[in-house]
Amino acid sequence: MAKIDEVKEFIGYLKVLIGIAIAVALSLMVWIFNHYDSLSSFDKSISFFAFIFDLLLVVLLNKKIIKQIKSLGDM
């Protein structure tokens, strides 16, 4: 397989991971809103940090995709 095809496949894989991470973030946000009154402060803080971690994961994956796309221009 040519190097350019490998990079394209890797970008596709990262796009799938970003989609999963966004789905998890949205699901977690909806769960927090639906159960906000019944959650303890510990559960709220853990859920909030999990949401922030997931959003950071999306940002890092996006940066990785952009880096890979720019490397395609060098080939």
Can you give the three-state secondary structure of 23-36, one letter per residue?
HHHHHHHHHHHHCC
Please give the chain's pLDDT, 75 residues, in tens.
688 889 899 999 999 999 999 999 999 999 999 999 998 999 999 999 999 999 999 999 999 999 999 988 877
pTM value is 0.82
Alpha-carbon dihedral sign for residues 10, 64, 15, 56? positive
